């Protein structure tokens, strides 16, 4: 178990080959956190495309009031798998991928704490995802009860079919969950144990703080989903009665277990996005991050409060009113640390000279859209309002403003920002800007109409609706198709730039993070020599530290 | 270059002074300064503890379900002619065996720490026997009960809860067997073997969970 690190270095370092030659490693069972990170990101992006196609089918159905494109069971399967894929196979594992790539680099480590476990976590994702999608080919199609899978609806399957869509759904979500738990163990251990000398907690980038907070939530809350799904599986296939109301069971217990995970899950998705904003905004405004310490601690604060708000998803589930009041208050409390974050981002770019490269556009766009997502969230936290719009398109608008317009935009910001580091090449700026504007306009066209639609009373999960809702639905559907188109320049840009992009320098943005002090792409062991950290993380513009690192930075420290 | 002994920068960091108020064992367990990555045993045990934290939430959720169902559905809890899980002497003996195996395994682990490999192996083997006895006992108990998995809420909760725990006992026994076999491989065994420490911790965890399960399932009378 005990081995000599220098020996390890010599063995593991792969010969410095051209990226053209070592693409094969991305298809291998590698334990390099950078390879695993890229594997995660590319795989989840493919799932994102599949989820996006399902969304466009949904929008095609909704362009007319009648139910005419797909039949009702298929429509149910479409929105169920769309939501499931986007949450469990796009945002959450993508975050795991980008965190995998960045966290060891940002804290000055050679790899994650448990590299083998890391590889296993990744390799559980593709089969689980394929299993989930393959359920489209079952005789009765996929699960149809939405990403919540509430019983008793999720238990209403045709009898005599032991392997059904719901069964497959549960099994794949449990597998993805196990992968996430192993990942979380790895991240938390890495952040506590692998930091370079001098990398104290208050010298960690906010991104690392956000990852730590999000992964702690995975550890504390994800197991309750696993438990709920195990019980659901037993009810579904083995004749138990936990959640069957007709046989004394109680479906509300499922809701508690489910939301005990799935509310924090929204922050598991959102916190890394907040971390990305905290990296990109300072770099492109050449300002130190405003209120670094409060932003770092606010990540933990958000994580902590979000554990105690889950009942706000159950205001209409026969919840006693004392409980409603209590959870209304805690839900509104989340806006305090979240407000600290938003204030910090604004103050960082306040009166600075902005450099509007693509990552900055996506970060600013995403942060701005979070305003609408967050405000609608606080509105929903108010019981009377929530009872009014519960299960309408207002909810759909709210969370898409967050999961797409904020988090997915942040993900794109991250891809563009760290693209030179990951590939060693620059992306094409013009194509990036085109991608941004198509996405930004498309996203608002798609998701804004859902807010008025919801206020007018259009309920969600329906394939046909009253003709008076058609106007806004046409706008949303056209926006949705625009969003679909917007991904094309992105793919072209990524593929083209990987192959033919200009060679990038080690630190093309003159950013201050530790990851920029090594080569692009970094060598197998990340750093020629483990850095000793003696600076705060965001010292842009501080004359004490030069903004442009001298190339022999580590050597000077010794 | 040896990362393990890199000089840690001691320049004062404002607001991190809270560190000095932490007890020493916590400082060792939660490295706050960084640069500790060479301590494989400590790192592994930290990760494993964090994993057990997660596991405990699964059990907590199952127990929560049990308690919530039982509180809200007490009148239909036992279908007619069913007596429910019995607190028989058999179950009590089984429980005593399981709980005392925690002491046995800890003693084994302590012998390993003092490099007394043979004593370690004997006690480790006894733990394996005790765990296996518990599993067989649970099987016998299950086969003698007058209700099944789909007999009302009592059946659902009883079999799923004790079964999930039994699965953990089984994993623990498998881990113990692996560690016993590995202890005969020359060279890779030293007194701070991560696998045995983790297995010991896991075994204690399984026992603590059993105390909770036992209390709600067997001791809570209607
Ligand atoms: C920061 C990231 C956030 C994300 C990713 C997010 C995501 C979501 C999602 C996915 C749903 C729909 C769940 C479903 O399918 O029923 C939802 C609903 C809801 N959100 Fe958010 N949300 C966020 C922030 C907030 C905030 C800050 C609040 C309140 C302070 C909030 C309050 C609510 C409420 C009350 C509902 C339930 C609405 C209903 O079903 O009646 N959300 N959110
Ligand atoms: Cu929520």
Residue B121 CB partners (closer than 8 Å, separation 6+): B180, B183
- Our CA-based measurement puts residue A246 at a distance from the nearest CA of chain B, in whole angstroms, of 11
Measured in Å, residue B64 CA sits from the centre of ligand 2 at 21
Measured in Å, residue A433 CA sits from the centre of ligand 1 at 30
Q: What angle do CA A431, A433, A436 make, to 5 degrees?
A: 110
Residues of B in contact with A230 (CB under 8 A): 160, 164
Nearest to A90 by CA among A211, A346, A268: A268
**Which atom belonging to ligand 1 lies closest to the Cα atom of A148?**
15
**Is the CB of residue A378 below 6 angstroms from any atom belonging to ligand 1?**
yes
Question: What is the DSSP annotation of A42-64?
Answer: HHHHHHHHHHHHHHHHHHHHHTS
**Which atom belonging to ligand 1 lies closest to the Cα atom of A147?**
15
pLDDT of residue A1: 33
| Torsions phi, psi for A503 (to 5 deg) | -65, 135
**Which atom belonging to ligand 1 lies closest to the Cα atom of A83?**
15
Query: What is the 8-class DSSP label of residue A503?
Result: B
Q: How far is CA A305 from CA A112, A224, A338, in A?
A: 28, 17, 11
Spatial distance between the Cα atoms of A327 and A308, rounded to a whole number of angstroms: 7
In A135-205, where does DSSP find H-type helix? Answer: 165-193
How many other β-carbons are positioned within 10 Å of the β-carbon of residue A291?
Answer: 17
> Do the Cβ atoms of B43 and A193 come within 8 Å?
yes
**Is the CB of residue A331 below 6 angstroms from any atom belonging to ligand 1?**
yes
Nearest to B152 among A4, A203, A248 (CB): A248
pLDDT of residue B107: 96
- Our CA-based measurement puts residue B189 at a distance from the nearest CA of chain A, in whole angstroms, of 9
Residue B111 CB partners (closer than 8 Å, separation 6+): B117, B119, B120, B123
The answer to whether the bond into A152 is cis (omega within 30° of 0) is: yes
Counting as low any pLDDT under 70, the low residues of chain A are 1-21, 158-159, 541-558
> Do the Cβ atoms of A532 and B36 come within 8 Å?
no
Nearest to B51 among A185, A239, A529 (CB): A185
Q: Report pLDDT digits (tens) over A494-542.
A: 999 999 999 998 989 988 889 999 998 999 999 988 888 878 888 876 6
**Is the CB of residue A266 below 6 angstroms from any atom belonging to ligand 1?**
yes
Taking each continuous run of H as one helix and of E as one strand, the counts in chain A are 19, 0
pLDDT of residue A139: 86
**Which atom belonging to ligand 1 lies closest to the Cα atom of A312?**
35
Mutate to test the pocket of ligand 1, among A267, A399, A460, A461 (most ligand atoms within 8 A of CB): A399
Please give chain B's pLDDT, 222 residues, in tens.
333 333 444 444 555 567 778 887 887 777 776 656 667 888 899 999 999 999 999 999 999 999 999 998 888 788 888 888 888 899 999 999 999 999 999 999 999 988 888 999 999 999 999 999 999 999 999 999 989 898 889 999 999 999 999 999 999 999 999 999 998 887 767 777 889 999 999 999 999 999 999 999 999 875
> Do the Cβ atoms of B156 and A242 come within 8 Å?
yes
What's the token pair of residue A430? 């013009």
Spatial distance between the Cα atoms of A452 and A460, rounded to a whole number of angstroms: 13
Nearest to B84 by CA among B219, B211, B206: B219
Q: Report pLDDT digits (tens) over A182-199.
A: 999 999 999 999 998 888
Residue A164 CB partners (closer than 8 Å, separation 6+): A138, A140, A157, A158
Q: Are A298 and A341 in contact (CB under 8 A)?
A: yes
10 Å CB burial of residue A439 (0-12, 13-18, 19+) is buried
Q: Kindly state whether B40 is in contact with chain A, defined as any CB-CB distance less than 8 angstroms.
A: yes
Nearest to A529 among B1, B31, B72 (CB): B1
Residues of A in contact with B197 (CB under 8 A): none
Query: Taking the alpha carbons of A40, A43, A49, A52 in that order, is the dihedral positive or negative?
Result: negative
Query: What is the 8-class DSSP label of residue A32?
Result: -
- Please name the residue whose Cα sits nearest to atom 42 of ligand 1: A377
pLDDT of residue B29: 77
Secondary structure of A291-356 in the HEC alphabet?
Answer: CHHHHHHHHHHHHHHHCCCHHHHCCCCCCCHHHHHHHHHHHHHCHHHHHHHHHHHHHHHCCCCCCC
β-partners of residue A142 are: A165
Name the residue in chain B with its Cα closest to that of A1: B188
Q: Are A506 and A518 in contact (CB under 8 A)?
A: yes
């Amino acid at each position: 178990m005990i081995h000599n690190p220098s020996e390890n270095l010599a063995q593991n370092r792969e010969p410095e080959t051209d990226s053209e030659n070592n693409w094969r490693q991305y298809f291998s069972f590698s334990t390099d956190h950078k390879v695993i990170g890229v594997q995660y990101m590319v795989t989840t992006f493919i799932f994102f495309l599949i989820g996006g196609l399902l969304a466009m089918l949904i929008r095609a159905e909704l362009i007319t009031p009648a139910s005419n494109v797909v039949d009702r069971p298929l429509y149910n399967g479409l929105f169920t798998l769309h939501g499931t894929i986007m949450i469990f196979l796009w945002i959450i594992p993508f975050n795991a991928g980008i965190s995998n790539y960045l966290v060891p680099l940002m804290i000055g480590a050679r790899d994650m704490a448990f590299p083998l476990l890391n590889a296993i976590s990744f390799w559980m994702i593709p089969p689980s995802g394929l299993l989930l999608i393959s359920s489209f080919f079952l005789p009765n199609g996929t699960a149809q009860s939405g990403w919540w899978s509430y019983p008793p609806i999720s238990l209403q399957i045709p009898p005599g079919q032991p392997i059904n869509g719901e069964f497959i759904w549960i099994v794949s979500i449990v597998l993805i969950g196990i992968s996430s738990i192993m990942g979380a163990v790895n991240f938390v251990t890495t952040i506590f144990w692998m930091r370079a000398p001098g990398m104290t907690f208050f010298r960690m980038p906010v991104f690392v703080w956000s990852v730590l907070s999000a992964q702690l939530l995975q550890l504390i809350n994800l197991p309750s989903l696993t438990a709920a799904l195990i019980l659901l599986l037993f009810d579904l296939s083995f004749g138990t009665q936990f959640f069957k109301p007709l046989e004394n069971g109680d479906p509300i217990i499922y809701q508690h277990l489910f939301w005990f995970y799935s509310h924090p899950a929204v922050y598991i998705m959102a916190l890394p996005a907040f971390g990305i904003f905290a990296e990109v905004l300072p770099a492109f405004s050449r300002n130190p991050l405003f209120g670094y310490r409060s932003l770092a601690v606010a990540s933990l604060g958000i994580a902590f409060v979000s554990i105690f708000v889950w009942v706000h998803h159950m205001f209409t589930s026969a919840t006693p009113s004392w409980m409603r009041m209590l959870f209304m208050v805690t839900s509104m409390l989340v806006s305090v640390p979240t407000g600290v974050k938003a204030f910090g981002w604004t103050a960082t770019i306040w009166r600075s000279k902005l450099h509007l490269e693509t990552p900055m556009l996506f970060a600013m766009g995403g942060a701005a859209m979070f305003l609408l997502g967050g405000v609608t969230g606080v509105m929903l936290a108010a019981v009377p309002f929530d009872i009014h719009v519960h299960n309408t398109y207002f909810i759909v608008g709210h969370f898409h403003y967050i999961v797409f317009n904020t988090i997915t935009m942040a993900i794109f910001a991250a891809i563009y920002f760290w693209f030179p580091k990951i590939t060693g090449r620059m992306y094409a700026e013009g194509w990036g800007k085109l991608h941004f504007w198509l996405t930004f306009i498309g996203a608002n066209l798609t998701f804004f109409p859902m807010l008025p639609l919801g206020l007018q009373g259009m309920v969600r999960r329906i394939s046909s609706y009253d003709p008076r809702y058609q106007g806004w639905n046409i706008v949303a559907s056209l926006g949705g198709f625009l969003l679909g188109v917007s991904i094309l320049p992105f793919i072209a840009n990524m593929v083209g730039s990987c192959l033919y992009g200009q060679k990038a320098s080690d630190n093309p943005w003159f950013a201050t993070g530790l990851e920029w002090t090594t080569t692009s792409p970094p060598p197998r062991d990340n750093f020629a020599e483990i850095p000793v950290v003696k600076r705060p993380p965001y010292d842009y513009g501080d004359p004490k530290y030069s903004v442009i690192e001298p190339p022999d930075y580590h050597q000077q420290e010794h | 270059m040896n990362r393990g002994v890199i000089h840690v920068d001691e320049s004062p960091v404002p607001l991190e002074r809270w560190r000095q108020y932490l007890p020493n064992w916590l400082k060792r367990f939660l490295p706050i300064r960084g640069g500790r990555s060479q301590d494989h045993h400590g790192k592994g045990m930290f990760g494993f503890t964090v994993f057990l934290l997660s596991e405990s939430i699964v059990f907590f959720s199952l127990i929560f379900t049990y308690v919530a169902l039982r509180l809200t559905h007490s009148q239909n809890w036992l279908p007619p002619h069913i007596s429910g899980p019995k607190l028989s002497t058999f179950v009590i003996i089984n429980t005593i065996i399981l709980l005392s195996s925690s002491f046995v395994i800890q003693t084994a682990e302590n012998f390993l720490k003092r490099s007394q490999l043979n004593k370690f192996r004997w006690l480790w083997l006894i733990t394996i026997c005790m765990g296996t006895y518990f599993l067989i006992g649970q099987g016998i108990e299950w086969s003698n009960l007058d209700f099944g998995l789909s007999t009302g809420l009592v059946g659902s909760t009883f079999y799923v809860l004790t079964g999930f725990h039994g699965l953990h006992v089984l994993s623990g026994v498998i881990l113990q067997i692996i560690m016993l076999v590995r202890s005969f491989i020359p060279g890779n065994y030293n007194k701070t073997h991560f696998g045995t420490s983790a297995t010991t911790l896991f075994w204690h965890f399984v026992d603590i969970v059993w105390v909770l399960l036992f209390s709600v399932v067997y001791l809570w009378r209607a």
